[in-house]
Amino acid sequence: MRKLWLIFSQTVTVALAVMFVVATLKPEWLRRPPWALMDTAPPVVVKQTDMPAGKGVAAPYSFSAAARRAAPSVVSVVTSQNAAAHGRNSDPWFRYFFGDQEDQPQSGVGSGVIVSSDGYVLTNNHVVERMDDIQVILSDGRKAKAKVIGADPETDLAVLHIQLDKLPAITFGNSDALQVGDAVLAIGNPFGVGQTVTAGIVSALGRNQLGINTFENFIQTDAAINPGNSGGALVDVTGNLMGINSAIYSRSGGSLGIGFAIPVSTARNVMESLIRDGQVTRGWIGVEPRDLTPEIAETFNLPVREGVLITGVLHNGPAAQGGIRPGDVVVQVAQTPVANTAQLLNAVAALKPGQKAAIQVQRNGQAVALSVVVAQRPRVTRPTANSGNQEE
């Protein structure tokens, strides 16, 4: 046993001495395994594509190609309001209580997206609402005065027209194919500092009942969206338009990582209607809806747990003439199931005025099929964030 211990201790001493010599003279041998010294294969080179000549090499996972493709189509929208024409000094009651006030012109800066080489620009309604002078500034420095072709306060969209040559129109994408986790870029003019690109992901889809617009189906993203980004583009990693940046959730006025964009599927339909007719035509039946909660369903002993409770019906309106009564629970509109107020608003709005629509309701525990002649939805002003139930 003693002899074995001596052999072991001598072996350890020699090994430590060898390691000391190697660490002193050839330290790189200790940083990789010995078999790696015999590996003479050349290193793997990752070839990067889609890079124009003379532009350098993009870093892995770079969004520069998408930004270069979409950014020229995003413009700054500078607006101003004639204070003399819209000021309150002409109101005698205002002058009586506050005296003569010096009128100050109001101005604002937002963003827009060139959607046609013919000069059509899509932006938010709240960017250009009540503004007298609207100027569009392209990323290449060109400027043009814009004319409002039409506006839709209920989706907060507006279409402008400018007269310039060689306009870089953006490519429309398919917002219905977006999934939570997809990478997106927000392009606009935040705080008027100039065109800015921010990156993030789609954090939620189909956001509604936020009290921002009447018709809501927002894409939620954590890409930084700040004041001035309104009307700008939300694009995918290939530079295709996925939405129009519209609003943020913020307590400070800056980005908190919750921004909302109007899907391009909605924006395109509204844009085409505004260009064609100057307005958006929607269906309307004249009811006051309310979400059916489990408490309400239990209180009234209703056999359904999803639907929209009708709390009021306009006298001699389309719904009243079709037989809808207060207390009915609407569960389907023209083959489209409805589970909440937002879905009812969208389903009715999609109907053409003048056509008959089959509406399924629950009444006193029984299913009732009704036929309602749809009317045209009256034009309304843009709702506020604290607005209550919308009349449909």
Catalytically active residues are 126, 156, 230
> Contact at 8 Å (CB) between 177 and 308?
no
The tokens for 340 are 């909440």
Quote the tokens at residue 224: 């930084």
| Unique residue bearing structure tokens 């009444």 | 363
Amino acid (one-letter) located at 94: F
CB 350 within 8 A of CB 343: no
Q: Say if residues 330 and 297 touch (Cβ distance below 8 Å).
A: no
Q: In this structure, are residues 120 and 79 in contact, taking their beta carbons and an 8 Å threshold? A: no
- Name the burial class of residue 168, with classes exposed (0-12), middle (13-18) and buried (19+) by CB atoms within 10 angstroms of its CB: middle
Buried b (16+ CB within 10 A) or exposed e, 172-187: ebebeebeeebebbbb
Taking alpha carbons only, the member of 232, 234, 237 closest to residue 75 is 232
Residue 342 to residue 349: CA distance in whole angstroms? 11
User: Would you say the C-alpha torsion 250, 379, 325, 339 has a positive or negative sign?
Assistant: negative
31 in the Ramachandran plot: left (φ > 0), alpha (ψ -120 to 50) or beta?
Answer: alpha
**DSSP string for 202-262:** EEEEEE--SSS-SS--EEEE-S---TT-TT-EEE-TTS-EEEEEEEE--SSSS--S-EEEE
Report the Cα 305 to chain-centroid distance in Å.
Answer: 30
